[in-house]
Protein backbone atom coordinates (compact mmCIF):
# COMPACT_ATOMS: atom_id res chain seq x y z
CA UNK A 1 0.00 0.00 0.00
CA UNK A 2 1.47 3.36 -1.00
CA UNK A 3 0.96 6.13 1.52
CA UNK A 4 0.17 9.65 0.47
CA UNK A 5 1.82 12.45 2.42
CA UNK A 6 -0.23 14.65 4.67
CA UNK A 7 -1.51 14.91 8.18
CA UNK A 8 -4.11 12.20 7.88
CA UNK A 9 -1.99 9.49 6.31
CA UNK A 10 -4.64 8.63 3.70
CA UNK A 11 -3.37 5.96 1.38
CA UNK A 12 -3.76 5.81 -2.37
CA UNK A 13 -6.22 2.90 -2.33
CA UNK A 14 -8.51 4.75 0.09
CA UNK A 15 -8.48 7.79 -2.16
CA UNK A 16 -9.23 5.70 -5.24
CA UNK A 17 -12.12 3.98 -3.44
CA UNK A 18 -13.49 7.39 -2.43
CA UNK A 19 -13.24 8.73 -5.99
CA UNK A 20 -14.99 5.60 -7.30
CA UNK A 21 -17.74 6.07 -4.69
CA UNK A 22 -18.19 9.70 -5.78
CA UNK A 23 -18.64 8.53 -9.37
CA UNK A 24 -21.72 6.55 -8.30
CA UNK A 25 -23.35 9.52 -6.51
CA UNK A 26 -25.76 11.81 -8.27
CA UNK A 27 -25.16 15.52 -8.49
CA UNK A 28 -28.00 16.12 -5.99
CA UNK A 29 -26.49 13.69 -3.50
CA UNK A 30 -23.14 15.42 -3.78
CA UNK A 31 -24.72 18.85 -3.29
CA UNK A 32 -26.64 17.56 -0.26
CA UNK A 33 -23.40 16.21 1.19
CA UNK A 34 -21.72 19.57 0.64
CA UNK A 35 -24.59 21.37 2.38
CA UNK A 36 -24.43 18.94 5.32
CA UNK A 37 -20.68 19.39 5.65
CA UNK A 38 -21.02 23.18 5.41
CA UNK A 39 -23.69 23.14 8.14
CA UNK A 40 -21.50 20.98 10.37
CA UNK A 41 -18.63 23.39 9.81
CA UNK A 42 -20.81 26.41 10.65
CA UNK A 43 -21.99 24.66 13.82
CA UNK A 44 -18.39 23.85 14.76
CA UNK A 45 -17.36 27.47 14.15
CA UNK A 46 -20.16 28.67 16.42
CA UNK A 47 -19.24 26.13 19.11
CA UNK A 48 -15.61 27.25 18.91
CA UNK A 49 -16.59 30.92 19.33
CA UNK A 50 -18.72 30.06 22.36
CA UNK A 51 -16.00 27.89 23.91
CA UNK A 52 -13.43 30.62 23.33
CA UNK A 53 -15.63 33.15 25.10
CA UNK A 54 -16.10 30.79 28.02
CA UNK A 55 -12.37 30.06 28.19
CA UNK A 56 -11.62 33.80 28.08
CA UNK A 57 -13.97 34.42 31.01
CA UNK A 58 -12.44 31.63 33.11
CA UNK A 59 -8.93 32.84 32.32
CA UNK A 60 -9.89 36.33 33.47
CA UNK A 61 -11.35 34.94 36.68
CA UNK A 62 -8.25 32.84 37.29
CA UNK A 63 -5.96 35.81 36.69
CA UNK A 64 -8.08 37.98 39.04
CA UNK A 65 -7.78 35.22 41.67
CA UNK A 66 -4.00 35.39 41.39
CA UNK A 67 -3.39 32.22 39.38
CA UNK A 68 -0.12 32.59 37.44
CA UNK A 69 -0.46 32.85 33.66
CA UNK A 70 1.90 29.88 33.32
CA UNK A 71 -0.53 27.69 35.26
CA UNK A 72 -3.54 29.02 33.35
CA UNK A 73 -1.76 28.30 30.07
CA UNK A 74 -0.92 24.77 31.17
CA UNK A 75 -4.50 24.00 32.17
CA UNK A 76 -5.94 25.57 29.01
CA UNK A 77 -3.50 23.85 26.66
CA UNK A 78 -2.23 27.23 25.45
CA UNK A 79 1.08 29.01 25.45
CA UNK A 80 1.50 31.92 27.83
CA UNK A 81 1.28 34.22 24.80
CA UNK A 82 -1.95 32.47 23.82
CA UNK A 83 -3.42 33.29 27.22
CA UNK A 84 -2.31 36.93 26.95
CA UNK A 85 -3.82 37.11 23.45
CA UNK A 86 -7.06 35.62 24.76
CA UNK A 87 -7.19 38.16 27.59
CA UNK A 88 -6.63 41.20 25.32
Q: Give the distance, in angstroms, between the CA of residue 62 and the centroid of all CA atoms in the same chain.
A: 25
User: What is the pTM for the complete model shown?
Assistant: 0.64
pLDDT tens, position by position, 36-71: 999 999 999 999 999 999 999 999 999 999 999 999
Q: Write the CB contacts of 69 (distance below 8 Å, at least 6 apart in sequence).
A: 63, 80, 83, 84
Domain regions of the chain by residue span: 12-87
pLDDT of residue 14: 81
Q: How far is residue 58's CA from residue 29's CA, in Å, rounded to a whole number?
A: 43
Amino acid sequence: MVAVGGRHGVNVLDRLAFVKYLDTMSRNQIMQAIRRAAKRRANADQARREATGELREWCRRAQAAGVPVTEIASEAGLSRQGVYDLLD
